Amino acid sequence: GDTGRLGVLFGSASLPATGDLWDIADLELRGSAGNERVGTRAAAADLDGDGVGDLLVSAPGWDGPLGGDQGRVGLFAGPLSASSTPLQVSDAGMILVGEAGGDALGTTLAALPDANGDGAPDAWLASPYNDAGAAGGGRLHLLLGIAGP
């Protein structure tokens, strides 16, 4: 199955001009089960207000306790460190999950500069197949960041 894989490169003046991503990635995230699709979407923003970037990583095909393709998004608080051991979404400090099987939370996500005017970046996460409003109508979730000191 398509477990998914995401490579993270930390900014540097000495990045190679070419190379296999998996040979030069500072950090790698991998899916833990077939069709999880880790890394379908990813975004970076300082969502916890500590002045250091955080990483959101989606896995919309994750099969949770409420059914197949429930979907989940992991928030990895920065600073992130290079590692030769791949991480999984379950290693994140915060994990958001779809409301029901079939929601596919994290099919789309994005960091926003500041949606509510508090000075902190925010993020939105999509559950395109959520049935709360209408069958398959979808739902958009707003994750509000915390303004720093």
Greater confidence, 14 or 43? 43
Distance CA 126, CA 50 (A): 25
pTM for the full predicted model? 0.92
Burial of 20 by CB count in 10 Å (0-12 exposed, 13-18 middle, 19+ buried)? exposed
pLDDT tens track for 85-140: 999 999 999 999 999 999 999 999 999 999 999 999 999 999 999 998 899 899 99
Q: Which residue has the higher pLDDT, 149 or 25?
A: 25
Cα separations in angstroms, 58 against 5, 13, 108, 139, 145? 11, 28, 8, 16, 17
